[in-house]
Amino acid sequence: MALTIDRMEIDDAGANPKKLAEAIVKQLPQGVRAIPVREIASAIDIYEIREAVLDGLEGGLIVPEDKSHGAILVHSDRHETRKRYTIAHEIGHYVNPTHLSSSPNGFMCSRKDMNVDSAKTGDQHAKMELEANQFAADLLMPGAMVNAFLSRKLGADLEHIFALADWFEVSKEAAARRYVVHLDVPAAIVFSFKGIVRYIKTSGSFPRLSVWNDVAIPGDCLSATSRAEVGRVTDTVETPGHLWLERSAGLSLGEQTVAQQNGYRMTLLTVESTESEEEEWEAPRFRS
């Protein structure tokens, strides 16, 4: 049975990425686990999802000005979880009424566009890509479903990210970004490549870090010294706070890591206050 999506309900959601995703998710059959992005695309008049080797691009959306219909392009040389994210990202452009193509060919999205997580005031391109990424995350991993999933898990653990990725059929990296903002403890995920930080995703309450993009991970930390084989998640160990944090007084820092293929690595950092309950803990400054 073909999926039916009422586009008027999507239109009524306005331009907020989260509300747009919710307007679609609420129309899906009960019990859905992995969000059927290809079926959703078809149900909202995306007449084709074409897979091809795309030079310098991850995906694209070909649409007329009124967005009455469209076609999605997906890089064929990618894992299915990546393709699902690309499709969701392009649907985000398609359903958002404020997203207007600057190209006669529609929206052409690079790998960099797929990773945009902030936008400077006045940068309309970055703003659209950011909103398409926010939409993709909310569509593929709806907040209520993520919270329900995490309610069955205790503490913070990289293994939870792997389980989340399997459950929603998304990449581990996409699952990690979603996971950290839904945890009820201060946490950060460090994504690195051959010992160099690619980027960091934190919960809103995580203290200010002393490392940032494109610098080496601390030499004495678990992530630098671990010899665990690829794919094996280490235990969480207490690590010296000053290795990762600008201010670590009164804090206990936990570190857990996993080596991935081809030099990639994911590290989970968590903090707890070591001050006595009688003392009022002053929250650390956060990086803006």
**What pLDDT digit, counting tens, does each position of 217-271 carry?**
999 999 999 999 999 999 999 999 999 999 999 999 999 999 999 999 999 999 9
pLDDT given for residue 276 in this prediction:
58
Shared domain check, 195 and 122: no
CA-CA distances (angstroms) from residue 23 to 10, 14, 114, 130? 5, 10, 22, 19
Shared domain check, 205 and 268: yes
Shared domain check, 190 and 94: no
Label residue 277 exposed, middle or buried (CB < 10 Å: 0-12, 13-18, 19+).
exposed
Domain boundary among 86, 115, 140: 140
Q: How many separate domains does the chain show?
A: 2
The pair of structure tokens assigned to 85 is 């994210």
In terms of residue numbers, what domain contains 258?
Answer: 182-273
Shared domain check, 212 and 98: no
Mean pLDDT (the chain, rounded): 93
Shared domain check, 244 and 126: no
Domain presence at residue 162: no
Average pLDDT value for residue range 81-92: 97
Shared domain check, 211 and 116: no
Domain presence at residue 280: no
Shared domain check, 99 and 48: yes
Average pLDDT value for residue range 69-79: 96
Domain boundary among 115, 140, 165: 140
- The enclosing H or E element of 255 equals strand 251-259
Q: Are strands 46-52 and 70-75 parallel, antiparallel or unpaired?
A: parallel
| CB distance 115 to 166 below 8 Å | no
Domain presence at residue 171: no
3-state secondary structure of 273: strand
Shared domain check, 221 and 129: no
Shared domain check, 207 and 123: no
Shared domain check, 125 and 186: no
Of the candidates 255, 249, 283, the residue with the CA atom closest to the CA atom of residue 268: 255
pTM: 0.89
N-term to C-term CA, the chain: 48
Average pLDDT value for residue range 13-24: 97
User: Whole-angstrom Cα distance, residue 5 to residue 27?
Assistant: 6
3-state secondary structure of 216: strand
Domain presence at residue 86: yes
Shared domain check, 24 and 125: yes
Average pLDDT value for residue range 121-146: 96
Domain boundary among 140, 174, 204: 140
Domain presence at residue 42: yes
Domain presence at residue 133: yes
CATH of the domain at 133: 1.10.10.2910
Domain presence at residue 176: no
Neighbours of 178 (CB within 10 A): 22
CATH of the domain at 190: 3.30.450
Domain presence at residue 38: yes
